[in-house]
Chains A and B, each alone.
Chain A
Amino acid sequence: MDAMCINGSQLEHKWQHKLKYLLVGIVFGIVFVKGEIISWYRIQEMFRLQSFHIYGVIGSAVVVGAISVWLIKKLKLKTIYSEENQFHEKPFNKGIIYGGLLFGLGWAITGACPGPLYAQIGIGYSVIIITLLSAISGTWVYGYFREKLPH
């Protein structure tokens, strides 16, 4: 089941420190758009096995991510605030299967996972605000029924 409390770092900072995440987000958003992973067409091609593009993106991202994490653990690299890096376990529950399938269905309809929704609004498809609001309400409804759902 998704963690109730998801805090990583215990440090408190002034809000200005959060601007660096805004900057990372901006670069990330540009990469999303130029890599065309926010394109509905590319997602349709992926699920019809007509193009390698998205598979290449996710595959190489995982390889680079895994090597980086391995290096951080191996070299015991600390954060810029000299904290130990924390890695969170994602324990298994049945919700991963039910929710995963449901999200997959939504991904193929809209051509977007949550990240691309924000970028799609940014590039000018303002109607995606509706999809984003709908996604927020989906998360809310999950929270409301969480105790009753099989996990």
Chain B
Amino acid sequence: MNLIETLKQPWPWYVVGPLIGLTVPLLLIIGNKSFGISSSLRHICAACFPSKIPFFQYEWKKEAWNLFFVFGILLGGIIAASFLANPQPILIEPKLATELSSYGITEINGLMPEQLFSWNQVFTLRGFFVLVIGGFMIGFGTRYAGGCTSGHSIMGLSTLQWPSLVATICFMAGGFLMANFILPLILSL
């Protein structure tokens, strides 16, 4: 099997995890930057709509590296989808597939269900919860917590900070609650 064909397969966790972990020393060595992604949302606010809010009054241009970084992530997505897309449909746990089919999510091909994540869903009640309310909670929650999975769970835990462990436990608790108890109600709408 040639290299490209191999790269098109889903990559295992023991390859992906260490590569993500190496981002921590890489960003430090190339410019003294702390790995973190949710700050990009704050910089966009500071750059576009600071509105005299003290929290958005800082020199966002000094943090512009973070915006280059997240724009890179978007480009990386385009490259992966264009040249390294998995030709096979995604394999998911059968129990999950059964559960999803009870909410009418039956077409499982790409990385996300198109029956949930497409433009014609935006104006449905279900789509409003998933796309709009879900996004709002990400933006509000990460800033309130002072970081997201990258800033707290990876950078914070890598530098052995106990508040980041508390944050990670809360992320997981919120996720368990949503996925098992609340999301089934939303998906049934």
- Using CB atoms and an 8 Å cutoff, list the residues of chain A in contact with chain B: 1-9, 15, 17-41, 43-48, 50-66, 68-69, 71-72, 77, 79-81, 83, 85-93, 95-115, 117-128, 130-144, 146, 149
Q: In the complex the two chains form, what is the Cα distance from A63 to B21 in whole Å?
A: 7
| Inter-subunit contact A100/B170 (CB<8 Å) | yes
Contacts of B172 in A (CB 8 A): 47, 104
Q: How many positions in chain B have a CB within 8 Å of any CB in the partner chain?
A: 131
The 5 closest A-B pairs by CB, nearest first: A25-B72, A29-B76, A122-B77, A104-B174, A99-B144
Known: A83-B32, A123-B110. 18 other contacts (CB 8 A): A1-B146, A8-B33, A19-B68, A21-B33, A21-B72, A23-B72, A26-B79, A65-B158, A66-B157, A79-B32, A90-B152, A103-B148, A104-B172, A106-B135, A111-B112, A113-B149, A119-B77, A142-B140
A-B residue pairs in contact (CB < 8 Å), sample of 19: A22-B68, A38-B77, A41-B96, A46-B175, A57-B13, A65-B24, A65-B25, A68-B21, A72-B29, A103-B141, A103-B170, A113-B142, A122-B80, A123-B111, A127-B122, A130-B131, A130-B135, A131-B132, A135-B41
Instruction: Decide: A135 near B167, CB < 8 A? Known: A53-B13, A143-B55.
Output: no
Contact A100–B153 (Cβ < 8 Å): no
B: residues with CB less than 8 A from A are: 7, 10-11, 13-35, 37-42, 44-45, 49, 51, 53-56, 58-59, 62-66, 68-81, 84, 90, 92-93, 95-96, 108, 110-113, 116-119, 121-122, 129-150, 152-164, 166-180, 182-183, 186
Least distance between B99 CB and chain A CB atoms (Å): 8
With A34-B11, A61-B154 as given contacts, are A138 and B135 in contact (CB-CB < 8 Å)?
yes
Using Cβ atoms and an 8 Å threshold, which residues of chain B touch A40? 111-113, 116-117
